[in-house]
Structure 1
Amino acid sequence: MTLSRARGLAAVLTAAAIVVLGAVLLTPGGPDRDGGHPGGRDLAPVTPAPEPAPSPRPDPAAIVDDPRASIAELTVRASDPDVRSVVWRLCRTPRCRRSDEALAVTDDGFVTRHLVPLPTNLFATPMDGVLLLGNGPAARIVQPDGSVTPVRWDAGEPGPLREGEHLVTTRAFGAIHAVDPATGRGHRVSAPRGVIDVVRDGDGMLRGRLLDGARRYVASADGGGTWATSPEPAAASGLLTSLVPSASTARAMVSGGDGATFLPFELVHRSDDAGETWTSWEQSARPMAYVNRGLAVLPDGRLLADLMGGGSPRLGQVGRLPSGLWVSAGADWSSLSPVRMGPPFDALDLRREFSPVYGIVVDHDAVTVYAVTSAPNQTLWASVDAGVTWRQVSSR
């Protein structure tokens, strides 16, 4: 039987079934001969099934205080470290396919706190002790006292970065935006069209990259009022490149081939004349290390990097290089050496473990490294000497 004939026969049978069924239902005193309306028995009114009750929103305290919870985002105010905002994530299934999140904020180092439930995987941007939640029209800031400040985006002409404002993740590719965390005012920062990968150095210098045609490096010393343009390092041609924030007058970039998820740590570039000229060093480590949580130029001009060496506790892999912090010996960045991280991280076998580093923050002339212990009962630690010594930071 062909498909068309089969379809035709099915249509005929379906029509016949409808006719027969209609005859049964519309014949007075049909199968149920108990009077009433044609068709026999009166049909009882149909009561719609109640809609399922929405799942109750998890108690944020139950998320934050659960020993299995882990830090998903954090920011500490540089001028007042007691002001902190930490997002905690509690995984409900293996590999964290389902999770709950809550935000904990404080202005007294978590002697007291305010807790806010969050939608899972809400985009959060650190802004010196507070978090910008979302990056569109509904973006908002949770203040240290738990109050919420909606962001008011200024639709006027772009302008330079003002005192107290912070760069935030761009709401449109090729543009820079800034937000004042105290007032919630947001606006577009004046910058060359198509600028990407913008960082703000400790001295306030804005630096970015342009990819419209020839790859160029751009920098502004006045918050975006004016921009200087120069070629990128020749050695970076054809490679993925990322700018490195600096607490020194030295400016930095890192380059590598396509590493899929992580950037291979292949080349570092240094400029001591605001990007006019560059010195590039090829990293000799083999097998290749990968950039993990980022890099920074220390106040003394050394390069600090958080790298992955290939070890995996979950897969039982032993890396040929240790993960964690690496640092140059000085202004010569031709090679970096592993940092002997102090307690509580000195006992880690970083050839078998992931790097404990959570983030590297540059603020004015200081670089702070944050690291976490493994769950359960995850704790947060901070170092201002490139990972040699650590102090615990209350985070919930």
Structure 2
Amino acid sequence: MSTEFHRIRRLPPYVFAEVNKLKAAARASGKDIIDFGMGNPDTPTPPHIVAKLVEAVQDPKTHRYSNSKGIPGLRKAIAGYYDRRFGVDLDPETEVIATLGSKEGLANLANAITSPGDTILVPNPSYPIHAFGFVLAGASIRHLPMHDGMDFFTALERATKHSVPPPTALIVNYPSNPTAEVCDLAFYERVVDFCRKHKIWILSDVAYSELYFDDVPPPSILEVPGARDIAVEFGSLSKTYSMPGWRMGYAVGNKELIGALTRIKSYLDYGAFTPIQIAATAALNGPQDCVAEMRKMYKERRDVLISSLAAAGWDIPSPKASMFAWAPIPEKFRHLGSLEFSKRLLLEADVAVAPGIGFGEYGDTHVRLALVENQHRIRQAARNIKAFLSKSNLTDPDYVSPMPNAAQ
């Protein structure tokens, strides 16, 4: 019996799994790994949100099936957030849907709107689900190279001109995962103008819209007049309220796209556990001091990471937003590629990072560092990395890193 399943064959090997396997083996052997690899918040969910979950779960009525599009109170809370934050007025019934994290929503919308062979425009590097949600739906991906010095609109125009069939949808993600790049409203205005002209749907991912470090917060594409004619936007409570394991996200915007996602989700799930949705409502409607504190913590960690690594001999651009630093591999190690560099950093400096190749071929000159360790451990990582960078034999192409024994 064949196990060469069609959709599985379209997925490349998950490169993060190689680093994760080495990380697990190193920890099993007793090493203390400082882990910047996964964007997994290390701080607890704010107490008032947890308290609301506990209160809700004690009501047996909440233990029944929920609503696949989200309970009305949560959809109203999401609409209220968009009104306060972006000045965007949304209809909770037709322009808002709750999702099991933004990742699930994007993947299910891809299935809802994609026919086999459709062309989808995706920046490269980008978060894997942006491309592979559509790959799993049978689409062909046209990458927009976003390596150093490449202009987004030059790449967009070229890809649109040479795509057969013409593109169905475009993915945009600001603040970006993994690059931490940000954009302004004028950028979105150009995107909307271009996509309206070429009849291209826009799927915008703003999961990191509240993790910004400058005075001007990142905008929403829905602030652009006419954007809702062609755009839908995905967000998440995971990073904003330190709720990653709760799996609570949303999609808002164009009624046709929200309707398509609502219909396909009605066949696939009954929504998140109702107490989680009630707690998410409390997060959005309740005091927002916790968000300001979260933002302050990540900014302080960012500053320590950038300054301590600079002192260690590794200059990294300071991100303006997100919980990531997009770090160019030091020049003398660049020939290794991001996966091998990540392995050696793990095995010889006890520091885990995410190899850039995991976000697309144009990410292979970088690694991603997540700000999920405290300041003390960030400084310890910098000391370890300084010793690692000073090892001259690492530039020897015949040098092989010592591998831990996975059986230990």
Q: Identify whether the pair has TM-score above 0.5, normalized to the shorter chain.
A: no
TM-score, structure 2 as length reference: 0.26
Rg larger in structure: 1
Compare the two structures and name the one with the higher helix fraction: 2
